Amino acid sequence: MKFLSLLIFISFSTFAQQSYIDYVSPYHPVVGKSGMVVSQNNLSSDIGIEILNKGGNAVDAAVAVGFSLAITLPRAGNLGGGGFMLVYLKERDEIFYIDYRSKSPLNASIDNIFDLNGKTIKPKDFTNDMFNKTRYGYKAPAIPGTVAGLLEAHENFGKLPLEEVLAPAIRQAREGITVSYDLEKAIDDTHQLKKDPESLKIYFKDGVAIKENSLFKRPDLENTFQLIASNGKEGFYEGDIAKEIVKSMNENGGLFTLEDLKNYKPQISEPIVASYRGNLVFTAGPPSGGGITLLTALNILSAFDLKKFNSDSAITYHLTSEALRRGHNNRSHFVGDPDYFDVPVTQLLSKERTMELAKSIDIKKATKSTVVKPLELINESRDTTHFSIIDKEGNAVSNTYTLGYSFGSGVTIPNTGILMNNQMNNFAYRYGDKNIRGRSASTGNRFEPGKSPMSTMAPTMVFNEEGNLILITGSPGGSLIPAAILRVITGVIDFDLDIGQATMLPRVHKDWPTTGILYETTLNSDVVRIINKTIGHKMTPEHTMGSTQSIHIINGTNYGFADLRRPNASVSIQSN
């Protein structure tokens, strides 16, 4: 009898121990009940928490993180780029969309961008060498919106004085950071930095990229941050910084004027929204095409019961890919800057359009691109970055911003430390070319002076049927952004996975009108074979897709996960 009692005790003890240490998956979310910051750099995440600990809210923390990433992640974090932000204010139960996308200079034209000297050129005659002018150097940047966007958010929704919000980033620029392996390799791999004298001086020593573990101080950015802290938006768009930008542009064939900078204004409006399994998904509207792609795909998937299939089944990847392809079709024709083009958002996301697209999917076979028709109406880089933040009051920020390519145009404005974007590369210069089916001939994204180019950035928030915020997410990745976000949302909602598991599910991308599926090599080889041989998709292995930085909120507890696809990403939390 004693032996039996001892056996039962040991069994229960063993069970209790196993139930504690035998975790569901190796991808452990960070758990907290107070403020949380998830960004692509651990030092910047910590700065966000520093601001929360000083009494700042999620918006204050977002501004601090946005400035800090210009130091810690200069290939994507920036002052010289632009982006989109969602802000949720818990007490007011309101959500706002801030569009601070870069804009084309007002005096820009096809002639002076491509140095045609008055020569007329047909869309089909554009060459790759010509397009390099919009990729690298002083013709590539559009008017930067980052500083205006972050400070617009602070002015409307922040709590702390701007000087206090920027103080940690100023300290970080002055004291420097330790160069990571990733930063050294990113610099060494970026040829356009070597062609700009100021960038060469900052990021290289004797022609060699700054070394891992060396101290990287940024007195140039420290001075720029100080001017902005003291003078706000005017410190960037009208004062000494603006003059330095225009002076450098004039000396190097750039197109900016002081008026371009002074007149730049971010836009605050409502995000676009769709319902998915009873949850409301909010994301960036035009000029984001990524938001349209994401919501189109979710609308289509609503017509299919994904719960019947495993999260990693061939059918799940097939349906996800077909939904994404149709989402990209929606964005490839009629999405652009709403100040210049009447984007038919309602029609693109309508029930009628959704059913038309859903009915064109064969659950057993891949669909030809010609079957996916545009709505009938009269290459982005992957080097972007996203961060998600929630404070102890439940206010939240989802922010994605970019320089375009890694390190943007490669141009650093002398005496400022400001790396400039290459977003002039994102316009459809071949508008009207009947030989092109893809986005480079998009009606909505045709080049015009003063216009914002379409982007795939799509910061996202999800609210459940009770109206509670349950997910904050977003990703870099260019045209792969919707695929990354879609996989996280369906992982959480359809397959009831925790945020770590949902984040690390293998991802697929299917664009329009290109053929085939890009897939991460972590996808099961048997599933790849079934999708290829049985369902009929051409399968192409791809490097990692995106880098989602997410917070999943369950019953008042925050679960944060920094995507493992890119190094140095981190979740930082306030003490409970």
Q: Do 239 and 67 form a contact (C-beta atoms < 8 A)?
A: no
Q: Residue 276, SS3?
A: strand
Q: Do 57 and 389 form a contact (C-beta atoms < 8 A)?
A: no
CA distance 27 to 565: 12
Q: Do 343 and 306 form a contact (C-beta atoms < 8 A)?
A: no
Side by side, the strands of the sheet bearing 94-100 are 267-269, 94-100, 82-89, 396-402, 384-390, 36-39, 570-573
Closest CA to 172 of 70, 75, 35: 70
The residue annotated as part of the active site, out of 384, 460, 473, 544, is 384
Pairing of strands 539-542, 517-520: parallel
CA distance 65 to 114: 36
Strand ranges (E), 378-480: 384-390, 396-402, 412-413, 418-419, 460-463, 469-473
Residue 367 falls in the annotated catalytic set: no
Q: What values do phi and psi take at 162, rounded to 5?
A: -60, -40
Q: Residue 458, SS3?
A: coil
Q: What values do phi and psi take at 154, rounded to 5?
A: -65, -45
Q: Do 389 and 396 form a contact (C-beta atoms < 8 A)?
A: yes
Angle at the Cα of 79 from the Cα atoms of 231 and 239, rounded to 5 degrees: 35
Closest CA to 452 of 476, 426, 472, 488: 426
CA distance 564 to 440: 32
* Buried/exposed code over 197-236 (b: 16+ C-beta within 10 A; e: otherwise): ebbeebbeeeeebbeeeeebebebbbbbbbbbbebbbebb
Evaluate the CA torsion angle 531, 532, 536, 540 in order and state its sign.
positive
- The residues carrying an active-site annotation are 384
